[in-house]
Amino acid sequence: MSAQAIKTSAQERNFLKKLLDIYELLPQQSTGAAIIGRIYSELLSLIIKELTCKAGSLFIIDSEDGSPVFIAVKGGDESLLGKKLEKGKGIVGKVAITGKNYLSKDASKDPAWMGEVSSNKGFSTSDILACPINYGDRIIGVVEVLNKKAGMFNRQDMRTLSGLSRHIAVFMKHLIDESEQKKFIDMQAKLYELSKMLNSNLDTRAVVRGAMEAIVSLVKAEVGSLLLVDKEKKELFFEVALGDSEKTLKEIRLKFGQGIAGWVAQQKQPIVVNDTAQDERFYKKADEKTGFVTKNILCVPVMSSGEVVGVMQALNKKEGLFTKQDLKLLTSLSDQVAIALENASLHEELKRTFVEVVESLAEAIEKRDPYTGGHTKRVVKYSLMIADEIHLEAEEKDRLKMGALLHDVGKIGIDDSVLRKPAKLDETEFEKMKAHPSIGADILGKIPQIKNIIPGILHHHEWYNGKGYPDGLSGDGLPRIARIISIADTYDAMTTDRPYRKGLTHEVAIAELKRFSGTQFDPQFVGAFIRAFEKQKLVPAHP
């Protein structure tokens, strides 16, 4: 308890007893904001009763910027709750700075009185009494009472309020600690969620979007965005833009040095701009295009190995202005985002290298079979057309692409006499050729990382009705990527010239797909393939 708690009058003792009654309202655990608000409100009612007046307000002093914030309002305009007063302005602002009591017998004639802030319709302020609420040597709040019921506030009232304020201080300090603790716990929980997400194996885009959402909520901003660096052009582009303007913003690119984000990228320095209208670095065109009004910005570089790889920004603090603490928080989070981006780009690079290796492998195999040049690439293309038409998820689409690339990899184990035969295969030769899906699956089955593409390779010659090979799978039992590759593969085989026959036209090949729809092919995917051709108006490879 504060050293100020010395002599206690009978009135104060009585007040203290009632204070303790209010204190009983506090639950043992989890003190929510609503209950704390109710307690402040009860506390103010008690003060108003003790001072026999008509109205009053209770303020807390924002520890970050020193401005008074309404935490309880009685008899006046309750919509002021939560609002901030400008530091040092008005009677309350003065009391918060000087720490001295203030008595005004006629508010309307008092130059310090800011009637527009505290009065509302139907309430006219006459006399005012305001006292600081001190805890130790810090002013943690201000109590203001208005319009004494009988007569006017006098020196005695001032002494009374001042005496009560010593007890209010202890009470309030406790509540502040409670809510600070709650805020701290909330923030820790959010940070924990964020770091869990950043370290997850989700798709990079989903991770950075989720991270931005969490960050915006942590710094209490309206929206936020992540811009990435285009190294070659030395420009920034929007990777994530929360809010309604993402599409428009994605068209915008900022040069290094252009706009606040460009400045941050160039200077490698974080910045808080609390009045964008007054800052000449601010790039107005983005707001003009989107219709969004940027009032203030918190902007930090995302650095990886000393290089700027992006810029993170939070726009428009929901209440008040961005603080140094917000900036500190955003800066520390930007390091985590940088690591997530780095991991993602390593992963992407690895994936790209892998696809390149697979592509050249597929190409090398194809070279053995001189009659089907470009077959693999076209099967990939047709398979992806179907995938896009049926909106296949990214992960399965990746598997489909790899499966299509490698579907004939087993031909590596087929004799040249069969594979390069410039004529139609006889029955024995065809039986040998039919081994290629199993050979391919055997070879690739040894690589654990690509296990999930094996079904596409092993079953690309199965039929939808179960009459294909090697396993005679049918319907939904036949892996989806195999059903897709089968259509792409057959269409290309039909439309390609062979030494012993000319390729069919696109129209005839489509008619064949339709004819075998439901027997050899999954009708659903035949339909998707035809629609994709119609939509893209693609000129078939071999008309």
The least CB distance from residue 420 to Fe ion, in Å, is: 15
Neighbours of 129 (CB within 10 A): 27
CA dist 481 to 36, 299, 408, 421, 476, Å?
58, 45, 14, 29, 11
CA dist 98 to 89, 113, 135, 157, Å?
12, 16, 14, 20
The least CB distance from residue 407 to Fe ion, in Å, is: 5
| 462 contributes a contact to Fe ion by CB under 5 A | no
Binding mask 363-402 for Fe ion (x = CB under 5 A): ----------------------------------------
Select 173 or 460, whichever has its Cβ closest to Fe ion: 460
For residues 46, 50, 51 and 54, what is the CA-based torsion angle, rounded to 10 degrees?
Answer: 50
The amino acid that residue 122 corresponds to is G
CA dist 275 to 159, 294, 298, 311, 327, Å?
42, 9, 11, 19, 15
247 alpha-carbon distance from chain centroid: 16
Residues in region 36-95 near Fe ion by CB under 5 A? none
Residues in the chain: 543
Count residues binding Fe ion (CB under 5 A).
Answer: 2
The least CB distance from residue 221 to Fe ion, in Å, is: 54
Q: Can you tell me which of 144, 235, 389, 408 binds Fe ion, judged by CB under 5 A?
A: 408
Select 170 or 361, whichever has its Cβ closest to Fe ion: 361
| Interface stretch with Fe ion, choices 105-113, 231-239, 331-339, 404-412 (CB under 5 A) | 404-412
Select 12 or 489, whichever has its Cβ closest to Fe ion: 489
Strands of the sheet with 53-61, listed across from one edge = 68-74, 53-61, 138-148, 128-135, 102-104
The least CB distance from residue 479 to Fe ion, in Å, is: 15
The least CB distance from residue 440 to Fe ion, in Å, is: 8
| Interface stretch with Fe ion, choices 22-30, 82-90, 405-413, 510-518 (CB under 5 A) | 405-413
| Interface stretch with Fe ion, choices 98-106, 112-120, 286-294, 408-416 (CB under 5 A) | 408-416
DSSP label of 439: H
3-state helix, strand, coil in the chain (%, to 5): 55, 15, 30
| Interface stretch with Fe ion, choices 26-34, 168-176, 274-282, 403-411 (CB under 5 A) | 403-411
The least CB distance from residue 398 to Fe ion, in Å, is: 20
The least CB distance from residue 436 to Fe ion, in Å, is: 6
Strands 297-304, 138-148: pairing is unpaired
- Backbone φ and ψ for 315, nearest 5 degrees, come out as -115, 140
The least CB distance from residue 383 to Fe ion, in Å, is: 11
Residues in region 470-509 near Fe ion by CB under 5 A? 489
Binding site for Fe ion (CB under 5 A): 408, 489
